[in-house]
Structure 1
Amino acid sequence: MGILDSFGALVSSIIASIVLLVFAILSFFITVFIVQVGAGLAGYSPSGDFVVLSAAILATGAIVAGASPLSGLSEIAE
């Protein structure tokens, strides 16, 4: 049954990767909207490439920060 367990782990890993990719794309689109609206409220009208660049940097930072384990906070000395 080792092969079937490995195959199940592979399939679940592929499904998890697809779900995470969909969430990353969705968060990027939401971040583009937020950056564009925020720039409009501030009175700026940046070109599309600057909006996409700033949204990509913000979305990447959020994804990396969410994926990194906070190991420094988990080792609280009593």
Structure 2
Amino acid sequence: MKVLVTVMPKAGVLDPQGKAIGHALAGLGFEGVGEVRAGKVIKLEIAGTDAAAAKQVAEAMARKLLANTVIESFRVEIA
């Protein structure tokens, strides 16, 4: 089963990478870009056919390793 885990900085947490991307886009002439937040997407392939169980396992992985839950939030989707 294919699972996507999206990890993003929580609101209010500084995001220097997002800030740098925003400045670079402005420097390249892209206008109208507001706040930029940078995160990561992790694609997992989990054995089994039960979507609910795969989602539960991926959420446990995110809490334990993939996301720093103090400063990041995550979302798990079955692909």
Q: TM-score range by the shorter chain?
A: 0.3 to 0.5
Structure number, greater radius of gyration: 1
Q: Which has the higher contact order (CA 8 A, sep 6+)?
A: 2
- Report the structure, 1 or 2, having the larger strand content: 2
**Normalised TM-score (structure 1):** 0.37
- Report the structure, 1 or 2, having the larger helix content: 1
**Normalised TM-score (structure 2):** 0.37
